[in-house]
Structure 1
């Protein structure tokens, strides 16, 4: 067939198009993706160990680059709100009740708002404690300590907020949850991390910790508290102050003395715990431990 024949030219054109399409299909096929850019590949069960390593390394390298090696961990309920927010909740509930005084749901809403106002003392205390820690760090950079929280709302937000209000930096270790958590706005941008694995997040909480302060909280707070105490009790972590805020709350929640009486822990194990009732006492306990010379 002559090269000038129209049928031949159409055949060549179709062959070129087919070849080009095949090349394009190869470029777009998942197998051609770079391994580290292929999410479907990385999310396989067989790659879990790689994901764990990556999740550990990202915060690790960033914190090392910024020479952050001493932190104060703040735990507590994600459900507490600031005094201002609680007062606004009460005002809204009262306004609605004046219009529908017999509405049971609105009565419950008012009681919840009043409870939030009572518990807002923990939010405010966490913010003040973090402010004290951060102010010291600004004044005494050679013994600086950076606040680290779980990155979310409640006491976590208050901790980051206190550092922010003092003009300092703080860390937030967010976690992927079924009901998506978003970072509170007071975390320092370059130290706002997000985790899928609780285990790696916990490692970063304690790896640089010089103290842990636990405000009242629920299952998450208790999980972090008792894991820390177990690591200290068994010598898997260096001894650091574990400070429980509001002695009456913690003694009402947990009968620590009963654990000793039943032989479940040793009496000296309770020496791992200190109770405080003010932000100043919490900071003083850390100062006394490390002889920071910042008496309050």
Structure 2
């Protein structure tokens, strides 16, 4: 079957108009902010009233890019930015007692990526928050295996650069936490959480709430490090208090290592 021929454009491409605007002679009128093309005016786009537009743009940009790259599903890796590479002997090692989880995350990412490569990097693609610690370990494992990974970074008051292992073409930066968390889940076929702090807990309980309430289809939700999680969260206390049902705890699977986690992810029935 022949492919449909592309129809000629009836109207100028927006980029063509930007180029024309750049060549406009400078006059008092053309130098006025009011004369700038609205979609090419950063001062206008960052106004408080334009928040709904910015929210939509943050939803669309990663979604369109991932769709164009043919990425159908991801394995999302949450965990602390403060867990260091065990090989790092520098002075700043805030969560050094948890450093072994860096290597476990790296190994797990390699297992995911090996499968992803067999699908043409369409399924089981590693997705992290793009920062240091466990996020770096996930990106690094994918990179070492020769695959790709998705990085969803966010602008923070303190400087945070993306780790150097994420696939550049799949590295995104967000202003809104809510849109970032939405992108974590839109393609997720599994969620794994390593020990972490407030951010990891926020991300974990977001997905637990969505699955528990039926707003999201059930998927593997794996917690690495049983001792950590049982100390941080008294799951049975929630059941005893009646605030969650006993069956709700079945949404979570505790795993001890990368191989065990991968076995759960790989054997999960396709939805």
1:83 aligns with 2:86: yes
Q: Is the 2:105–2:137 contact (alpha carbons within 8 Å) kept by the matching residues of 1?
A: yes
Which position in structure 1 is the counterpart of 2:29? 26
- What per-residue deviation string (whole Å, max 9, x for no partner) do you get for residues 181-224 of structure 1? 11101110110000000011011000000000000000000000
Residue 83 of structure 1 deviates from its aligned partner by 1.1
Compared with structure 1, are the counterparts of its residues 287 and 46 closer, same or farther at alpha carbon in structure 2 (3 Å cutoff)? same
- Alignment coverage as a number of residue pairs: 246
After TM superposition, the score normalised by the length of structure 1 is 0.80
Which position in structure 2 is the counterpart of 1:203? 182
Structure 1 residues 133-152: aligned runs within 5 Å: 133-141=112-120, 144-152=123-131
Gap regions ≥5 residues in structure 2? 1-24
Residue 23 of structure 1 deviates from its aligned partner by 6.3
Q: Is the 2:71–2:122 contact (alpha carbons within 8 Å) kept by the matching residues of 1?
A: no
Residue 67 of structure 1 deviates from its aligned partner by 1.2
Most deviating of 48-57 and 38-47: 38-47
1:66 aligns with 2:88: no
Structure 1 vs Structure 2 CA RMSD: 1.7
- The structure 1 residue matched to 2:200, chosen from 221, 235, 238, is 221
After TM superposition, the score normalised by the length of structure 2 is 0.87
Residue 28 of structure 1 deviates from its aligned partner by 0.8
Q: If you compute each CA radius of gyration, which structure gives the higher value, 1 or 2?
A: 1
1:212 aligns with 2:228: no
- Distance across 2 between alignment mates of 1:184 and 1:271: 34
- Distance across 1 between alignment mates of 2:64 and 2:128: 19
SS at 1:172's partner residue?
Answer: strand
- Distance across 2 between alignment mates of 1:290 and 1:185: 34
Residue 63 of structure 1 deviates from its aligned partner by 0.5
Q: Is the 2:129–2:135 contact (alpha carbons within 8 Å) kept by the matching residues of 1?
A: yes
Runs of 4+ more than 2 Å apart: 139-144
- Distance across 1 between alignment mates of 2:119 and 2:139: 19
- The structure 2 residue matched to 1:49, chosen from 49, 52, 59, is 52
Which position in structure 1 is the counterpart of 2:209? 230
Greater helix proportion: 1
1:177 aligns with 2:156: yes
Compared with structure 1, are the counterparts of its residues 230 and 174 closer, same or farther at alpha carbon in structure 2 (3 Å cutoff)? same
Residue 290 of structure 1 deviates from its aligned partner by 3.0
Structure 1 residues 34-45: aligned runs within 5 Å: 34-45=37-48
- What per-residue deviation string (whole Å, max 9, x for no partner) do you get for residues 115-172 of structure 1? 61x3210111100000011012223449831000000000000000000000000000
- Distance across 1 between alignment mates of 2:141 and 2:76: 13
SS at 1:226's partner residue?
Answer: helix
Structure 1 residues 234-249: aligned runs within 5 Å: 234-249=213-228
SS at 1:28's partner residue?
Answer: coil
1:272 aligns with 2:257: no
Q: Is the 2:121–2:147 contact (alpha carbons within 8 Å) kept by the matching residues of 1?
A: no
- Distance across 2 between alignment mates of 1:271 and 1:44: 45
SS at 2:81's partner residue?
Answer: coil
- Distance across 2 between alignment mates of 1:124 and 1:252: 22
